[in-house]
Amino acid sequence: MKYRQLIVLSVMLITGGTCLAQKEQPTITEDFKPSTKNQPGQEYPRVNPQGYARFRIIAPEAKSVVVSLGLGGTRGGTPLSKAEDGSWMGTTAGPLEEGFHYYHLTIDGGVFNDPGTLNFYGSTRWESGIEIPAHDQDFYALKNVPNGKVQQILFPSPSTNTSRRAFVYTPPSYEKDKKKRYPVLYLQHGWGEDETAWSNQGHANLIMDNLIADGKIKPFIIVMTYGMTNDVKMGGLRNFDIKPFQTVLIDELIPYIDANFRTLADQPHRAMAGLSMGGMETKTITLARPDIFSHYGLLSGGTYAPEDIKDKSKVNLI
Amino acid sequence: MKYRQLIVLSVMLITGGTCLAQKEQPTITEDFKPSTKNQPGQEYPRVNPQGYARFRIIAPEAKSVVVSLGLGGTRGGTPLSKAEDGSWMGTTAGPLEEGFHYYHLTIDGGVFNDPGTLNFYGSTRWESGIEIPAHDQDFYALKNVPNGKVQQILFPSPSTNTSRRAFVYTPPSYEKDKKKRYPVLYLQHGWGEDETAWSNQGHANLIMDNLIADGKIKPFIIVMTYGMTNDVKMGGLRNFDIKPFQTVLIDELIPYIDANFRTLADQPHRAMAGLSMGGMETKTITLARPDIFSHYGLLSGGTYAPEDIKDKSKVNLI
C-alpha cells in the first residue's frame, strides 16, 4: 500500500512540474523534432534532446515577436528574429527543464498563442504548451496496454447553484468485473489551471494505465474537479476561502461519485492529493475532515507538520 | 421510434450548422454581451441579439488586425480599427447566422486565435469559436436536469497500429440500473473537425440530457470518433478512401464498445449519422454494411436515393 502511494506521488511530482531552468550550454545540436504538443502536422515549435526549443511564427508584417515561457514570462522571454522568408524564428537561450511548459507569444504588444501548438488551461487562460522530452517519458507514453477511460461528468451543485464539471479516470478493468469496487483519489490542479489539467497536461490516465499494466499499482479511480468556486475572477490566494470548495467536494462531488461509480465508499479507501494550490487545498481539507480521507498527498503544496494531524490512528503516514 | 429519430436529426441539423449569412441591417442595437464561448472573465468578443459580433484585440504595435469568420474567411473578413487606447476594435458588417462559428485573426500577415475565446478543432486546426445565441438555445443549454457523462476512451486499433480516441456519451440512467442495455448511435464529425466536435461545439451531451429529461427521447449511447485515418495531412476529399476508417469503425471500435459498455449489440439497435463529410462516410458505410446499422442519418452529407438501399426490409426509413 505504501509502495503504491509513493510511486503515484513520485509520478505526479515528475509530471506536474512546470518550472523553468536555464544553464549555459556551449553547442546546440541540430537534432530538433516537432514537440509532441503540436497541432496535427505542425513542424514548429521543435525541441532537441538537450532541451532547447525552437520557434517559428509566420507574421511577415509584425514588428516584434517574443516567446514567453513560464507563468509570467521569463527574463524577457525568447525574442524571435525575422528570417529571409518573412517568418520569425528563434531558439531558447538555454535548455529547458524536461516536461511540460506553458507559454505564449507577444506580438506587436499583444498576447497570443502559438498557432503551431495545442492549448492547455494554465495561468487562468488557455495557453500554448510545449513538451521537453523527459528521460522517463516512457512512463507517461501512450502504449499498447489496456487503457482506462476519462469521463466528463456534470454533477449537481446546489451550493453554487449550477452543475459543475469533473473528470473521472476509471481503470481498464472497471468494465470487466461489474461487481468490483475501487478506492478513489481526489486529485486537484494548481492555481490558474482547471479540472482538465491532470489528464491533459499531466497524462494521469496514461500513467495509471502503464503502472497498472506493469503490475506496479493496484487499480483505483481518480476524480479531478475545478478547485475554485469563483469561476470568473480568480482572486489572490491569500484571501482564498476554502469553505465553498470544501462544500462542493465533500457534500456534493463525493456523494455523487459514490452514487454513480463503483467506489469503496469509506474513509480507508479515499485519498486526496493536489499540486501547488491543490496541495494547499488538500492540506486544509484533509486536516479539517479526517473522517473523509485516509491518504493525503501534497505536491509542491506545503507540508504536514506532525502536530497538524490530530488523530494519527485515522490516517496512513508514508 | 420514428419521432425520436426525427427529433435527434433536427437537433443535429440545427446545432451542427456552421454556415454564414449576412444581411443588410440598418441599426445596430447596443446590447452586446460576451459570447458564451469566451475564456473565463473575457469581455470580448461580444454578440448582440441581432446576431452582430464585436471584437476587441490588444496589439498596440500591430499594423492590421482582421477577423476571419467561416472556414476560409469571408469576403475579406471584418477589419478592426485601432482605438484610442491602442486596442483594435470592430463589428461585423452584418448579423451572423445563429449558432456556432469558427474564426481566426490575421495579425500583420499571420494567423492567430483570439485570446478572448476558447479554441475548437475545425478547419484541421484549433480555431477560435463564437456562439451567436440561437432562438432555441434553451435546447442545448446546461440545465438543472440529470446529466449523462462524456467518456474519453482509447481503443486498440491494430489496423492503424495505435490506440485511437473516441468519446462516448452515456445517458444519466446508465449508472442506475446496472442491467439495462442501450441502443448506440455512431456520430461522425465534419471535414476538418475531429472526435471532440460533437460534444464541444455541438453540445450533443446537453441536447441528449435535455431531451431525455423532457421525455422526448429514449436514452441511448452516442459514440464519436475521429473519422479519418491519415492523422496528419488531410488530403482532398475526392481521393478519400473510406476503407481504412470503415475497418476502424466496424472491426475495431464497435466490438470495443460492445465489450465495454452495456449496449444492445445488434443491428436493430445500432445507428450511424454524420455531418457533412461524416454524412458522406455514413452513407458509404451504412450502404456497404447494412448488416451492421439499421438507422442512418445524413446531415448535410448527401442523400440516399431509394435505389441505393438494396434490402429495405433491413433498415428503418423515416
Q: A124 to chain B: which residues are within 8 Å by CB?
A: 40-41
- The answer to whether residue B218 scores a pLDDT higher than 50 is yes
In angstroms, the Cα distances linking B297 to A278, B13, B100, B239, B272 are 45, 10, 21, 23, 6
Contact between chains at A144 and B163 (C-beta distance less than 8 A): yes
Contact between chains at A109 and B115 (C-beta distance less than 8 A): no
- A145-170 tens-digit pLDDT: 999 999 999 999 999 999 999 999 99
The grid coordinates listed for B232 are 496528419
B67 vs B118: CA distance, rounded Å = 15
CA dihedral A270, A274, A277, A282 (to 10 degrees): 20
The grid coordinates listed for A148 are 482506462
User: Identity (one letter) of the amino acid at B239?
Assistant: N
Task: Provide the mean pLDDT of chain A.
Answer: 86
B317 vs B308: CA distance, rounded Å = 12
The residue ranking higher by pLDDT, B243 or B10, is: B243
CATH number, domain A141-314: 3.40.50.1820
Contacts of A133 (CB under 8 A, 6+ apart): A36, A47, A49, A98
- B57-90 tens-digit pLDDT: 999 999 999 999 744 345 668 999 999 998 999 9
Contacts of B235 (CB under 8 A, 6+ apart): none
Per-residue confidence (pLDDT) for residue A305, from 0 to 100: 79
For A125, the closest chain B residue by CA position comes to B39
Of the partner residues B109, B150, B199, the one whose CB lies closest to the CB of residue A61 = B109
- The answer to whether residue A195 scores a pLDDT higher than 90 is yes
Per-residue confidence (pLDDT) for residue B206, from 0 to 100: 96
pLDDT-derived band at B159 (thresholds 50, 70, 90) equals very high
A13 vs A17: CA distance, rounded Å = 6
pLDDT-derived band at A176 (thresholds 50, 70, 90) equals confident
B98 vs B179: CA distance, rounded Å = 41
Of the partner residues A40, A113, A233, the one whose CB lies closest to the CB of residue B113 = A113
Architecture of domain A33-137 in this structure: Sandwich (2.60)
Mean pLDDT of B113-125: 92
Task: Provide the mean pLDDT of chain B.
Answer: 86
Q: To the nearest whole angstrom, how far is the Cα of A77 from the nearest Cα of chain B?
A: 18
Q: To the nearest whole angstrom, how far is the Cα of A194 from the nearest Cα of chain B?
A: 11
In angstroms, the Cα distances linking A51 to A15, A91, A94, B303 are 16, 11, 8, 53
What is the strand order of the sheet A149-157 is part of? A295-299, A270-275, A184-188, A221-225, A162-170, A149-157, B149-157, B162-170, B221-225, B184-188, B270-275, B295-299
The residue ranking higher by pLDDT, A44 or A69, is: A44
pLDDT-derived band at B26 (thresholds 50, 70, 90) equals low
Q: B40 to chain A: which residues are within 8 Å by CB?
A: 124-125, 231-232
Which stretch of B11-25, B112-126, B192-206 has the lowest confidence by average pLDDT? B11-25
The domain locations on chain A are 33-137, 141-314
- The answer to whether residue A19 scores a pLDDT higher than 60 is no
Does A33-137 match A141-314 in CATH topology? Answer: no
A176 vs B261: CA distance, rounded Å = 10
The grid coordinates listed for B260 are 465495454
| Mutation target vs B (from A108, A177, A199, A208; most B CBs, 10 A cutoff) | A108
Q: To the nearest whole angstrom, how far is the Cα of A172 from the nearest Cα of chain B?
A: 9
Residue B40 · residue B51 · CB < 8 Å: no
| Mutation target vs A (from B42, B149, B195; most A CBs, 10 A cutoff) | B149
- A28-43 tens-digit pLDDT: 999 999 999 999 889 9
CATH number, domain B33-134: 2.60.40.10
Q: A154 to chain B: which residues are within 8 Å by CB?
A: 142, 147, 149
Mean pLDDT of A251-257: 98
Mean pLDDT of B294-313: 81
B97 vs B252: CA distance, rounded Å = 38
- A270-297 tens-digit pLDDT: 999 999 889 999 999 999 999 999 999 8
Q: Are strands A270-275 and A184-188 parallel, antiparallel or unpaired?
A: parallel
Of the partner residues B62, B149, B175, the one whose CB lies closest to the CB of residue A110 = B62
For B107, the closest chain A residue by CA position comes to A59
ipTM above 0.85, yes or no: no
